[in-house]
């Protein structure tokens, strides 16, 4: 039996400062292939090249990756400011509709960092442009210098709701995670359940209540060291199982038994 296909939502970038490319981190593909047990397929996130309908037919699940550009605040009714940083309107136009379609169909997705924020915005939620500027919040951004290992090191705890989806999935109420984001959830979208928080109250783990498919999303980057880290491994294994169920014609649930 062939592996389920997981579409990895790509990011736009410039190679050599002038050649446009669609990119996907190797660690995303490795986590999908080696831990989830699926075939990774990088999706060019440009609505002039792909459609949501085609992607739904082609793929069994989707990994909504992290990325430097942020969701444009017009998507949640606010004006852009310098604090909102860079944008990728093409990705917005693919990913947000894709999230809503997956929720409606029960097709699985896993949201990571920007992908976590896309899930919230797609469901009608809003974002803070810069978490570290809020009273009582820590700096969730990655260190500006250092090795890749130092940037992705485990830096804070995430506490899950007692008996909730993530608590059951992880087999633990608290886990350690990395943190490499500037923005965060301001108001939760429709049916978005915030199931895990950082020590400063920042939302870190969500799912869509009432959805028939796997709709988990996390604010950290579980793709890093996914095969060795028990938190990442549990998340990608469950996502892979959901993609296999979809491929076989079953409607899996986002609620982990």
Instruction: Please list the active-site residues.
Output: 113, 221, 223
Helices (DSSP H) in the chain: which residue ranges? 26-30, 52-58, 89-105, 114-122, 148-151, 165-170, 230-247
Q: Per the structure block, which two tokens stand in for 173?
A: 């109420």
Beta strands in 103-237 (DSSP E): 109-112, 126-128, 156-160, 174-177, 184-187, 192-197, 203-208, 217-218
Contact (CB, 8 A) for 3 and 37: yes
Q: How far apart are CA 81 and CA 95, in angstroms?
A: 22
Contact (CB, 8 A) for 168 and 257: yes
The structure tokens 């593909």 sit at: 29
Contact (CB, 8 A) for 154 and 178: yes
For 56, 146, 243, the CA distances from 215, given in Å and listed in that order, are 15, 33, 11
* SS3 state of residue 153: coil
Q: How far apart are CA 85 and CA 73, in angstroms?
A: 10
Q: How far apart are CA 63 and CA 129, in angstroms?
A: 23
């Amino acid at each position: 039996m062939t592996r389920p296909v997981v579409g990895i939502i790509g990011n736009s970038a410039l190679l050599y400062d002038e050649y446009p490319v669609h990119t996907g981190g190797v660690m995303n593909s490795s986590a999908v292939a080696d831990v989830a047990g699926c075939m990774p397929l990088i999706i060019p996130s440009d609505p002039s090249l792909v459609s949501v309908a085609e992607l739904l037919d082609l793929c069994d699940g989707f990994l909504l990756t992290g990325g430097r550009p942020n969701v444009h605040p017009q998507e949640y009714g606010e004006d852009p400011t310098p604090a909102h940083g860079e944008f990728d309107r093409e990705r917005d136009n693919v990913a947000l509709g894709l999230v809503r379609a997956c929720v409606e169909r029960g097709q699985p997705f896993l949201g990571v960092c920007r992908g976590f924020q896309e899930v919230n915005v797609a469901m009608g939620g809003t974002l803070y442009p810069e978490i570290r500027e809020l009273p009582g919040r820590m700096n969730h951004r990655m260190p500006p210098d250092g090795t890749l290992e130092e940037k992705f090191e485990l830096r804070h705890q995430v506490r899950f709701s007692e008996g909730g989806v993530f608590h059951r999935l992880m087999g633990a109420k608290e886990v350690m995670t990395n943190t490499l984001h500037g923005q965060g959830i301001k108001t939760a979208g429709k049916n978005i359940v915030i199931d895990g928080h950082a020590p400063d109250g920042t939302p870190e783990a969500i799912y869509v209540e009432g959805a028939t498919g796997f709709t988990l999303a996390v604010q950290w980057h579980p793709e890093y060291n996914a095969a060795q880290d028990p938190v990442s491994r549990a998340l990608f294994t469950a996502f892979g199982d959901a993609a296999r169920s979809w491929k076989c014609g079953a409607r899996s649930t986002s609620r982990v038994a």
